[in-house]
Amino acid sequence: MAHSICLHNGRIYGLQGLQDATAVVIDEGIIRFIGNEAMLRHYDLGSIEKIDVGGRIIFPGFIDSHIHLTEWARRRGHLELNSFRSLKETCAYIADNAEDKEWLIGGGWNQNAWKEQRFPHRHDLNFLGPGTKAIFYSKDFHSAWVNEALINLFDFSDVLQMLRKGYIQRDADGQLSGLLREEALTVLLDPLLKTRPVDIFDHPEKYFSDFYQHGITSVHTMENFENYQNYLSLYQYEHHRGLRLGIYIYNSDSKQVFEHGLRYGIGGEWLRFLGLKIFIDGALGSQTAWLRKPYETGIHHGKKLLHSDALKKVIAQAESHGCALAVHAIGDAAVEHVLDILDSFGRELRVPLRIEHAQLLDNGLIERIKDHNIHCSVNPSHLIDDKPIAELHWGERSRGAFPYRSLKIASVSFGFASDAPVEDIHPWKGIYAAVMRIPVDDTQPWYPEESIRLTDAIHAYTYYSAQLSGCNEKKGVLALGYMGDCFVCNQDVFQISLSSWRDIRSVLTIIRGKIVYDEMGR
């Protein structure tokens, strides 16, 4: 059901920034009027509710272009390990929360921030009883730390497969070390976790409200096929519809996607299938991002997850079935690999292809991305925590990390994303990072020449994120004929210091003309 509403006495944020317009009318879910107060007096509102927003800025609804919604919801009940600065402290916290627990699941650990400067091991969890199964994901979600009780549940043939691929390792005693990387998380852990219910499919509103308070009205989420079907079933009921969902399905489930005839763009304004998600490499924190030159701290280049023939086959199959592609490529070698394969086709693809993360680029790669007219989904909030890790592992190459100004100058279109649950969903953290580039515990910007303007950062969370879907959806802009998704901001972000980004939020969020979040006390 579409709704109607009028917001007035505000300041409209449009494609050119703040406009002279002060009012917006959403009628039956679509923006039908934008203008000033004098013009509004001549508009026939009829029975449409009129809300005075007290001079605050009205923004288009934010669009988070890359999250893992189900994993984010699952993590809300997990142990948070991201604040500890040593493995010893981390284990002490786990022990304090382990009593009478059959399952212990958590995440956020980062061995780069620990004083021990090493990866965790199954022996580090020996304080847990034999009846407690433990899984702890790394901050970047590309590694997992498990205990012996959990290892004993693994399928033997799957273990052999992951050993051959190098995603798990044995100790000298022949036992698994307890550290899983990349594909091993899917192959070994997913079968064990599938039986554990995820509350978001029963009570979506209590999860969606977290997004609404930040002004987020749409997300692009990375899911398996089963979760796609769960969201599809959920959204059959109007009272469960909230966030607008664009869903990419992991390529490991591509057979089911093809069998069900899913093509990119299928769906409607509430839920749409966008394509397949594929991985070229890992992540910086786990030292699995694939680099042209070795890591500064070792002789390895990271992990190449899809070789040339396999990648070309995946792209060709997706194209033949009408599926767009979201390609995870963090390291410079991974991005180069994607571009080389696209060159080998000798023509433009018939489906959209976007690059996820693109965290390390030089000018040559940026030019090639431009030449292929590829859009990128990038994660500026990672910058705040990743500076010391990047400088440790990438050295002087870090000059090409998070190169948003260079992408902008090259006219490469990019949208912003949180990558939750790897990072907080708070969009102003990412905007602050892109504009100020000041890492945690620092006072000076990191490569300030790559900073972008505040308006460009806001556009990356609205208009350009909308473009990333490749479906010509009319959202991300407050303009006539566009979807009636917007929010009223509690602060004038053009007058305050962005260092107070934690305090910036929505006081009124609207999706399709319906108020879904209200702090204005009407």
Query: What are the tens digits of pLDDT across the range 458-476?
Result: 999 999 999 998 888 899 9
DSSP-derived letter for residue 339 is H
The strand order across the sheet containing 514-518 reads 17-18, 11-14, 57-60, 486-489, 506-511, 514-518
Mean pLDDT across 10-29: 96
What domains are defined for the chain? Answer: 1-61+479-522 (2.30.40.10), 63-69+198-475 (3.20.20.140), 83-138+143-181 (3.10.310.70)
Question: How much is the pLDDT for 55?
Answer: 97
CA 228, chain centre distance (Å):
16
Question: How much is the pLDDT for 198?
Answer: 85
Q: Is 160 exposed, middle or buried (0-12, 13-18, 19+ CB in 10 A)?
A: exposed
- Are the C-beta atoms of residues 212 and 509 closer than 8 Å to each other? yes
**Is pLDDT at 170 greater than 80 in this prediction?**
yes
When pLDDT is cut at 50, 70 and 90, the band that residue 1 belongs to is low
Least trusted range by pLDDT, from 3-17, 184-198, 349-363: 184-198
DSSP-derived letter for residue 161 is H
Mean pLDDT across 226-251: 96
Classify each residue of 83-120 as buried b or exposed e, where b means 16 or more C-beta atoms within 10 Å of its C-beta: ebeebeebbebbeeebeebeebbbbbbbbbbbeeeebb
Cα separation, 200 vs 71, in Å, equals 10
Question: How much is the pLDDT for 522?
Answer: 63
Question: How much is the pLDDT for 308?
Answer: 95
408, two tokens? 């902008």
**Is pLDDT at 286 greater than 90 in this prediction?**
no
Enumerate residues 6+ apart whose C-beta is below 8 A from 436: 445, 451, 498, 499
**Is pLDDT at 421 greater than 80 in this prediction?**
yes
CB 216: neighbour CB atoms within 10 A?
Answer: 26
Q: Are strands 486-489 and 179-181 parallel, antiparallel or unpaired?
A: unpaired
CB 268: neighbour CB atoms within 10 A?
Answer: 8
Least trusted range by pLDDT, from 84-93, 341-350, 396-405, 468-477: 468-477
- Are the C-beta atoms of residues 45 and 24 closer than 8 Å to each other? no
CA 194, chain centre distance (Å):
22
Mean pLDDT across 363-382: 97
- CA gyration radius, the chain: 23
137, two tokens? 């994901």
- Biggest CA–CA distance in the chain, Å, is 82
Cα separation, 315 vs 311, in Å, equals 6
Question: How much is the pLDDT for 297?
Answer: 84
- Are the C-beta atoms of residues 412 and 456 closer than 8 Å to each other? no
Question: How much is the pLDDT for 194?
Answer: 79
DSSP-derived letter for residue 168 is S
**Is pLDDT at 107 greater than 70 in this prediction?**
yes
**3-state SS class at 271:** strand
Mean pLDDT across 203-229: 96
Q: Which residue has the tokens 């679509």?
A: 30
Mean pLDDT over each residue of the chain, to the nearest integer: 95
Cα separation, 348 vs 446, in Å, equals 36
% of the chain exceeding 90 in pLDDT: 89
Question: How much is the pLDDT for 240?
Answer: 93
Residue type, position 150, single letter: L
Check: pTM over 0.75? Answer yes or no.
yes
Cα→Cα distances 26→72, 218, 284, 362, 513, Å: 31, 17, 44, 44, 6
Cα separation, 347 vs 297, in Å, equals 39
